[in-house]
Amino acid sequence: MGHTQHAVQLDPTETLDADRFMDYERSVLRSRLVDSILSVIDHPNMSICDVGGATGVLLQKLREHSSYPIDATVFEVNEAYANKMAHPSIQFQHGSIIDNDLPTGSFDIVTCRHIIHHLVADNIPDTLRLQRKAIAELIRITKPGGYLIFEEQVNLVKPFSRAVYHLSKLANRAKFNWKYFEAGNVVISFLTPKEISEMIHRHANDGTISVETESLTRRNVELRWKLTLLMGRGGDMLYVINKNV
């Protein structure tokens, strides 16, 4: 279950920066994700899984503001977060959304934020296969009648997106670190809005899901990113998706 035959993910321990992400994850508290999720928590003890949820900051925020108690789970590829949960009652499950044993229809609400562009393989075609697989798995583990709600960073210019992938992979393999541009540790491959929309709507077209919200917000990026040109045309796609079957 959850096995990808034709695309192998690069080792997340080599392409992610766990310490940096702990600092970054708090930005979710200012995102559109919080209100979008709270709007569909309509009865007690709904099960919510934050895929790639690190220390559970988002889940704790939801628990503090929901009118109902929440059964909260972080599903995370990095075991280092297991002992750093924002609250001890948040459950931690170790695993990758690409290759997992989670039962179909496990959670009332599945969420993630800025995870898909971190799912990278050794080339672009395989990376796209991994990203399609991730979206399919996010939908699969959502209960019928439940919601997949996520936000994903995108690059509006496809050649720039591809260049970021190749340059970040080169810096990673060369062990070239430049803190000013946060280069050297993390390998990323952004989708364009069109690419992620096509990945989502293939499931809508077969009736598996209904897309309730598909919204792009442009990013006001820092000057250092604008100077690279490659990162100056970015944004965030917000999806609120109802699982039909």
Per-residue pLDDT tens over the stretch 132-149: 999 999 999 999 999 999
Rounded to 5 degrees, what are φ and ψ at 195? -65, -45
pLDDT at 185 over 80: no
The pLDDT-based confidence of 31 (bands split at 50, 70, 90) is confident
Residue 176 lies in a domain: no
Residue 122 lies in a domain: yes
Question: Any residues with CB less than 8 A from the CB of 161 and at least 6 apart, and which?
Answer: 154, 155, 189, 190, 191, 192
Q: Say how far apart CA 142 and CA 132 lie, in whole Å.
A: 16
pLDDT at 195 over 90: yes
The predicted pLDDT at position 181 comes to 45
| Inter-residue contact 181 to 218 (CB < 8 Å) | no
Range of the domain at 201: 12-155+189-219+234-243
pLDDT at 66 over 70: yes
The two structure tokens encoding residue 114: 């800025």
* Domain total in the chain: 1
Residue 62 lies in a domain: yes
pLDDT at 27 over 90: no
The predicted pLDDT at position 233 comes to 74
Identify the three-state secondary structure at position 244: coil
Three-state secondary structure string covering the chain: CCCCCCCCCCCHHHHCCHHHHHHHHHHHHHCCHHHHHHCCCCCCCEEEEEECCCCCHHHHHHHHHCCCCEEEEEEECCHHHCCCCCCCCCEEEECCCCCCCCCCCCEEEEEEECCHHHCCCCCHHHHHHHHHHHHHHHHHCEEEEEEEEEEEEEECCHHHHHHHHHHHHHHHHCCCCEHHHCECCCCCCCECHHHHHHHHHHHHHCCCEEEEEEEEEECCCCHHHHCCCCCCCEEEEEEEEEECC
Per-residue pLDDT tens over the stretch 153-175: 999 999 989 988 998 898 888 76
Per-residue pLDDT tens over the stretch 221-233: 554 444 454 555 7
The predicted pLDDT at position 4 comes to 44
Q: Domain holding 239: CATH number?
A: 3.40.50.150
* 75 alpha carbon, distance to own chain's centre: 11
Residue 199 lies in a domain: yes
Per-residue pLDDT tens over the stretch 97-134: 999 999 999 999 999 999 999 999 999 999 999 999 99
The predicted pLDDT at position 24 comes to 62
As a whole-number percent, the residues of the chain with pLDDT over 70 amount to: 84
Question: Which of 4-8, 79-83, 203-207 bottoms out in mean pLDDT, i.e. has the lowest?
Answer: 4-8
Question: Which of 14-18, 54-58, 133-137, 200-204 bottoms out in mean pLDDT, i.e. has the lowest?
Answer: 14-18
Per-residue pLDDT tens over the stretch 199-226: 999 999 999 999 999 999 987 655 444 4
Residue 128 lies in a domain: yes
Mean pLDDT over each residue of the chain, to the nearest integer:
88
Mean pLDDT for the stretch of residues 36-54: 96
The predicted pLDDT at position 61 comes to 94
